[in-house]
Chains A and B, each alone.
Chain A
Amino acid sequence: MKLPPFDYEAPETTAEAIELLAEHDDDASVLAGGQSLIPLLALRLARPAVLIDVNGIGELSGVSASDGQVTIGAVTREYVAEESQTVAESLPLLAAALPFIGHEAIRSRGTIGGSLAHGDPAAELPAVARALDAEFVLRSRAGERLVSAADWFEGYLTTARRPELLVEVRFPAAGKGTGTSFLEVARRHGDFAIVALATSLTLADGTISDARLAFAGMSDVPVRATEAESLLVGERPSAELFAEAARRATADIDPPSDLHGSAEYRRKVAAALVRRGLRAAADNAIEGQ
């Protein structure tokens, strides 16, 4: 299972990387953490002519907060985000999801931007990005472009990224009264999700003022359960409400069927996760008040 031949570039600045992307276009793949790309290369399922290794571009790494927003450089290692105080305080949903990403050794190399640019619908970070309406910042010869999470994930392993460099992802910081949960059903600890659910609830005076539910593993992209979200806003948390939300979240969804679970199985599990995820998020919101 050896990698096929490719040319290799290691730009040292964002500007260099952008030029290389423009020059090679679809013939190039960007190598960040490599935890998704290198297995594809080993299986010879990906055959880029050029690999553009962005690990050497220091300015693409880092976590910073300002004005109710947390900005994470695309090449920030997952373990760095996991250890970040800023993430723990301001992005509890991301903090909850990170330990589910593979195993420690994967998170040593895997990057926030790399996972999001890979766009595996069964991965954890795409669901978090969708739940939080993260903003993707791209740069190319044409300048800077912002893409919202809703528009970022176009299809299975397909994102809105053209021959552009994803430089950073911006997440809104969790507001007052927000509780989150990240739940995952996987075959084993550390595996890709069969179904996972990123939940965020904001309570004001005991009433839900904001609700986010984003699934991994239920489609070819991460999906928001918008019908369930609308049901929740304006209501007080209760088991009956959450059960109804679970029904709405899974009524019109068409999940995939594969070796690890049929569509019917995924639907049932998704409903269970909605019930459990909402209760956990509500408990966290109440606790935090």
Chain B
Amino acid sequence: MTVDISLTVNGETRTGSPEARKTLADFLRDDLDLTGTHVGCEHGVCGACTVIIDGRPVRSCLMLAIQAAGSEVTTIEGLATDGGLNPLQQAMWDSHSFQCGFCTPGFVMQATAFLRDHPDGDEQQLREALSGNICRCTGYQSIIDGVLLAAERNRER
């Protein structure tokens, strides 16, 4: 069965009629052509599918698309303004945070939530906050450095 839904994605109203069983991750990627959100495991462990829903980080593979009806969803595509990079993305670029890039959207969204909630968080807190996102390429240090750099720059502003 399908259900008609309307939700806000990256500030825009989007609609669709996904099957009830379709995950939010698949809906974003297939129906809304927002392929920035990646699917890495489909059972809620790797974090590559992380988006922000009504202010909270959420694994979009563990949510039915129809459950997001009426919500405000932010994906990786919704972060940068004017096609540029936002301060977190910029700091990650400067820090060589990533390599293959597949885990990246999930990390960026999770780090976005962390910086908002813990602007002065220390490295250990940050590592715990990001421990639900798996990266196979970097060994995490460069990602941690990127987020901490963004936090530092935010404080200087």
Contact = CB atoms under 8 A, between A and B. Distances in A.
Task: Report A-B touching, CB under 8 Å.
Answer: yes
Interface stretch (B85-93, B95-103, B124-132, B149-157): B124-132
B105 interface: no
A260 interface: no
Contacts of A55: 67
B20 A6 contact: yes
Nearest to B41: A1
A35 B62 contact: yes
B57 A1 contact: no
Nearest to A41: B21
Contacts of B23: 3, 38, 42
A227 interface: no
B44 A39 contact: yes
Interface string A44-67: 000000010101000000000000
A79 B3 contact: no
Contact of A108 (B43, B58, B66): B58
Nearest to A3: B21
Contacts of A104: 57, 110, 113, 129, 132
B47 interface: yes
A34 B25 CA distance: 14
B interface, by DSSP: helix, strand, loop or mixed?
A: mixed
Interface string A18-49: 00000000000001001100110111000000
A3 B132 CA distance: 23
A38 B47 contact: no
A237 interface: no
B57 A105 contact: yes
Interface string A184-201: 000011100000000000
A189 B22 CA distance: 30
A248 B50 CA distance: 44
B108 to A, nearest CB: 13
B68 to A, nearest CB: 11
Interface string A157-189: 000000000000000000000000000000011
A7 interface: yes
